[in-house]
A and B are shown apart, each in its own frame.
Chain A
Amino acid sequence: MTLKDWTLPLIVLAAAAVLAPLPVVAGSYWMALLVNILMYATLATAWALFSGPTHYVSLATAAFFGLGAYTMAFLGEKLPLPLVYGVAALIGAVVATIVGLSTLRLSGVYFVIFTFGLAELVRQLVTWGEAKYGGTVGRFVFIDVTQQGIYWMLLGLLVLILLTGFAIQRSRLGWALRAIGEDETVARHAGIDTTVSKVAVFVVSATFMTVVGAIMAPRWTYIDPSIAFNPIISFQVLIMALLGGASRLYGPILGVVPLAILFEILQANFPNSFSILLGLAFLVIVYFVPNGIVGLIDQGRGAFIRATRRRPHPAE
């Protein structure tokens, strides 16, 4: 690998080093906002690992996030914490493998609808299972993880997701995913095992989402299926990733920061019309920034390069 290949990972690590001490200075309001931003940054970046290159739009984020949160709610007081995160990751990976194998033969809009249905199905199953075997629907989560702890874990996870993304992009697997996004028939005829490639990265992406759920659960003290599997989570992640632009690994983060703040303000001030405002934000973004902030940056850079190239060199 050349020096250039290391630039982005080094920027990621440097940025994380700058962000790591924030909890020392931030008050509790700001900590809550930062944790919220990090939660969506990890989810949206994990989402884009798979959906970015393949253009398969998944609405299953809430399903995996909720599975992670529920794993923590059930096991958090029974097992050591690191083990709970491991179990959550394993559950996410297994469910994603099953879902991936059964759905990734679908294409386009069928995949979107199926993933959305999946999130609802998992929510219903958990509700039923909790009532039958847990005696209640909804439970308190008394686990001793501080706001700072959550922040640091999410920050570490974000770094891990980004580094994983870099590694995938540089590998044959990353090329396979891009080819699938361009034209799946061509990809198959080029010799790419499209099913294996898609399932592999869907599983990686979903596993990260599940761990985010497990990390976040202690923040709520009480969770029930409608909180943990809230479909709004899937839509928010989608909107944020679209605003930022999923064609670059760092793209979704650019969409998360402004929207997490905006949604926070909207939710605080217009709790009843939040879904409508969310839909409105969606329309505005798709209409005005179809390629995301990343697309605007690329456009701007292209225009700059063309402008500087055209200008005759003074020495000539």
Chain B
Amino acid sequence: MQPLIELHGVSKSFGGLRAVDRLTATIRRGEVVGLVGPNGSGKTTALNLITGNLTADSGAIVFEGRSIERDGAHRITRAGIARTFQLVRVMPTMTLAENVAVGAMFGARPCGPAEAAERALPLLARVGLAARADERAASLTYIDQKRLELARALAAHPQLLLLDEWLAGLNPTELKEGIALIASLARDGLTIVMVEHVMDAIRALCTRCIVMNAGTKIAEGTPAQALADPGVIKAYLGDDDDA
């Protein structure tokens, strides 16, 4: 499979803290890759660098053969990368339909407001929110706001979808539905990178796993391989200060 996106030695520091430290990774078309690691290991920062929410201090990010590490977030979205946020972000006083329509209007296949409104409805149905299309986003529960965010991301017609702990906080029934939904997106050919702590979801969905600790990649492989790695076990036990 040909690479969809490649990270070459990407770094980002906040003050003295190296949040992402020379991260190199390749994601191929059609993969579902789990990005795991303890809290503070740099997973969200890595997503922020890919989507242009932050600019890398050094390194290169190549999407479909083109360098995007200097591009603004809007260009990257238009190029075909969409995301959800770990701390959910919706447009609160807009309706659900409007939230998704904005995603459709300015994404990889831009369109006018009328067409965007039409494109929004099936996506709301897909995440189970069709009945509430005309309610304000602020009136949704946290979990439903996450669903709405996913619909908005999908509306942009991405080739690469980045999910930041999208399954966190779901009850067992919701988790099952959530996993089924992501699996159906993967079947449609979407390439997905998911930051996740829910290991059952990782095992069920991911073809491959990248494990980060302290900003660097410490292991990579099938979920079973990567999670059994001694370094990974050590990192998860919190013993990451010494050699």
Q: Which residues of A contact B (CB under 8 A)?
A: 170-172, 175-176, 178-179, 182-183, 185-194
Interface string of B84-110 (1 = CB under 8 A from A): 000001111110000001110111101
Contact B72 A188 (CB under 8 A): yes
Select the stretch in B1-9, B73-81, B227-235 that faces chain A: B73-81
Tell me which of B82, B89, B101, B110 contacts A185 (CB under 8 A). Answer: B89
B36 to chain A, nearest CB (A): 23
Q: For residue A247, which residue of chain B has the nearest CB?
A: B93
Contact B73 A183 (CB under 8 A): no
Selected A-B contacts with CB under 8 Å, 9 pairs:
A172-B105, A172-B113, A176-B106, A183-B91, A188-B77, A191-B106, A191-B107, A192-B106, A194-B74
Tell me which of A179, A193, A194 contacts B102 (CB under 8 A). Answer: A179
B12 at the interface (CB under 8 A from A): no
Counted as pairs of residues, one from A and one from B, with CB atoms less than 8 Å apart, the total is: 70
B194 to chain A, nearest CB (A): 17
Given the known interface contacts A188-B72, A193-B74, A194-B74, the answer about A179 and B51 at a Cβ–Cβ threshold of 8 Å is no
Given the known interface contacts A179-B102, A191-B77, A191-B156, the answer about A185 and B53 at a Cβ–Cβ threshold of 8 Å is yes
A1 to chain B, nearest CB (A): 10
Contact A190 B103 (CB under 8 A): yes
User: Which A residues are in CB contact (< 8 Å) with B52?
Assistant: 188
Contact A190 B152 (CB under 8 A): yes
Given the known interface contacts A170-B113, A172-B106, A172-B112, the answer about A189 and B51 at a Cβ–Cβ threshold of 8 Å is yes
User: Which B residues are in CB contact (< 8 Å) with A192?
Assistant: 74, 102, 106
Contact A188 B94 (CB under 8 A): no
Within 8 A of A (CB), among B147-203: 152, 156
A221 to chain B, nearest CB (A): 47
Tell me which of B83, B94, B105, B110 contacts A182 (CB under 8 A). Answer: B94
B136 to chain A, nearest CB (A): 11
Tell me which of A172, A178, A183, A193 contacts B89 (CB under 8 A). Answer: A183
- Which of B51, B89, B90, B106 is packed against the most chain A CB atoms within 10 Å? B106
A20 to chain B, nearest CB (A): 33
Bound CA span A183–B102, Å: 12
- Which of A171, A179, A186 is packed against the most chain B CB atoms within 10 Å? A186
User: Which A residues are in CB contact (< 8 Å) with B72?
Assistant: 188, 193
A306 to chain B, nearest CB (A): 14
Contact A175 B51 (CB under 8 A): no
Contact B94 A191 (CB under 8 A): no
Contact B112 A190 (CB under 8 A): no
B238 to chain A, nearest CB (A): 31
Given the known interface contacts A172-B105, A172-B113, A176-B106, the answer about A188 and B74 at a Cβ–Cβ threshold of 8 Å is yes
User: Which A residues are in CB contact (< 8 Å) with B93?
Assistant: 182
B154 to chain A, nearest CB (A): 12
Bound CA span A74–B70, Å: 46
B48 to chain A, nearest CB (A): 10
User: Which A residues are in CB contact (< 8 Å) with B73?
Assistant: 185, 188-189
A300 to chain B, nearest CB (A): 18
Bound CA span A182–B53, Å: 17
Other A-B pairs beyond A190-B74, A190-B107, 12, CB < 8 Å: A170-B113, A175-B105, A183-B92, A188-B74, A189-B51, A189-B74, A190-B152, A191-B77, A191-B78, A191-B103, A193-B72, A193-B74
Bound CA span A214–B152, Å: 45
B166 to chain A, nearest CB (A): 15
User: Which B residues are in CB contact (< 8 Å) with A188?
Assistant: 52-53, 72-74, 77
CB-CB nearest 5 A-B residue pairs:
A182-B91, A191-B106, A191-B77, A188-B73, A191-B78
Bound CA span A257–B71, Å: 47
Contact B92 A182 (CB under 8 A): yes
Contact A190 B94 (CB under 8 A): no
Q: For residue B81, which residue of chain A has the nearest CB?
A: A189
B116 to chain A, nearest CB (A): 8
